[in-house]
Amino acid sequence: MRKFEYLRPTSVEEAVAAASRPGAAYLAGGTNLLDLMKTGAAGPELLVDVTRLPGLDAIEPLTDGGLRVGAMVRNADVARDAAMRRNFPMVVEALLSGASGQLRNMATVGGNLLQRTRCAWFQTPEAACGRRDPGAGCDARDQAGRSHAVLGWSERCVAANPSDFCVPLAALDAQVEIAGPGGRRDVALRELHRLPGDTPHVETALAPGELIVALRLPGAGAGFGRFSRYLKVRERTSYAFALVSAAAALRVEGGAILEARLALGGVAARPWRAVEAEAALIGAAPDAGAFRAAAEAALEAARPSGDNAFKIELARRTAARALALAAAGAPERMPALPASPFADIGAPAHA
């Protein structure tokens, strides 16, 4: 690990000023950044510790029925929150499927939103990686394996976003509150992460020094209630990153779908909101045929980036099954294996 400076500011304004320096990075739970520093994949010259900043550690109700979650709230506290479990169960399911209890106790909301890819070539300093070193190329492009993107990738980068948490947030139109040198602004979660294009090192919409201070889940998302689910397919059930995942939510009346939300994980450099699939579902009956057609629409633009063509069909099946689970409704109690593909779908609760 390289030598670095360490600073613990006492206000958001002080933190932003310090992090605006070249080579600075924010430190929250450290569950991702410290690992990258140990391997040499990241080498910040200054760590700005934001874990004790005031006013960033609360979950608060919004007047529209949504929730505002401070950036320093621990993932474990989000998963335990009663309002979150009642109104946004697929967010809880995603968090509980994403890491061990020890990691959830350390990891923060803001840090989870910004965690870096688990691409092995990004994680290995000796490999060429334009995401880590601008202009260096992409060694993974010629050797891309099971974990890489099938949507939105470019010749310069085939990495996939690793977050479980961000997938249901994209489906629910979550907003990210940001503080920076120019003041405060909001960014839609769907626009926070960027596709690689020719500049894979520009991973997010954040400018230098900008700090995520909160996440807002709008009340419109709470309207789906328990008819929303998160489904994750992984190499092993115990705390592995998703090969593919899907967050689905439905509102059904009179035997027809009035509103639908669908987002995919593990398939692109950002959580992939499948708006074409959502549009295809409106007015349809909530049945296997409609769900399969929506899944086809969601993956219409997919193409393999290496030896991962199987992920396209796997993502289709995952999306269709997540929609079926959403139609059946979330169980009254969180299952022992959250987001497991082995869960029984059951009869649609709308029937």
Q: Is the dihedral of CA 32, 33, 39, 40 positive or negative?
A: positive
pLDDT at 185: 97
Per mean pLDDT, which range of 34-43, 96-105, 247-256, 263-272 is the poorest? 96-105
Compute the distance between CA of residue 327 and CA of residue 272 in angstroms, rounded to an integer: 21
Residue 78: Cβ within 10 Å count: 24
pLDDT, mean of residues 186-201:
97
Cβ-contact 266, 147 below 8 angstroms: yes
DSSP state of 332: S
DSSP state of 140: G
Per mean pLDDT, which range of 27-36, 39-48, 140-149, 244-253 is the poorest? 140-149
Q: How far is CA 253 from CA 285, 301, 315, in A?
A: 10, 31, 27
Higher pLDDT, 145 or 1: 145
Helix (H) or strand (E) holding 188: strand 183-188
**Token reading at 195:** 């596709």
pLDDT, mean of residues 123-131:
94
Is residue 142 over pLDDT 80?
A: no
Per mean pLDDT, which range of 74-78, 83-87, 97-101, 225-229 is the poorest? 97-101
Is residue 232 over pLDDT 80?
A: yes
pLDDT at 312: 97
Is residue 262 over pLDDT 90?
A: yes
Q: Give the chain's count of helices (H) and strands (E).
A: 14, 12
Compute the distance between CA of residue 69 and CA of residue 131 in angstroms, rounded to an integer: 29
pLDDT at 187: 98
Is residue 347 over pLDDT 70?
A: no
Res. 156 pLDDT band, cuts 50 70 90: very high
Residue ranges of domains in the chain: 225-328
pLDDT at 195: 97
pLDDT at 23: 95
**Token reading at 258:** 């009035």
Higher pLDDT, 140 or 1: 140
CATH superfamily placement of domain 225-328 = CO dehydrogenase flavoprotein, C-terminal domain (3.30.390.50)
pLDDT, mean of residues 194-209:
96
pLDDT at 351: 52
Instruction: Report the percentage of the chain scoring pLDDT > 90.
Output: 85
Task: Return the closest-CA partner of residue 189 out of 201, 176, 206, 207.
Answer: 176
Is residue 341 over pLDDT 90?
A: no
**Token reading at 108:** 């923060």
Is residue 1 over pLDDT 80?
A: no
Is residue 74 packed enough to be buried (19+ CB in 10 Å), middle (13-18) or exposed (0-12)? buried
Q: How far is CA 288 from CA 23, 220, 336, 343, in A?
A: 51, 26, 26, 17
Compute the distance between CA of residue 44 and CA of residue 192 in angstroms, rounded to an integer: 22
pLDDT at 188: 97
Q: What is the CA radius of gyration of the chain?
A: 20
Determine what percent of the chain falls in helix, strand and coil, rounding each to the nearest 5. 30, 20, 50
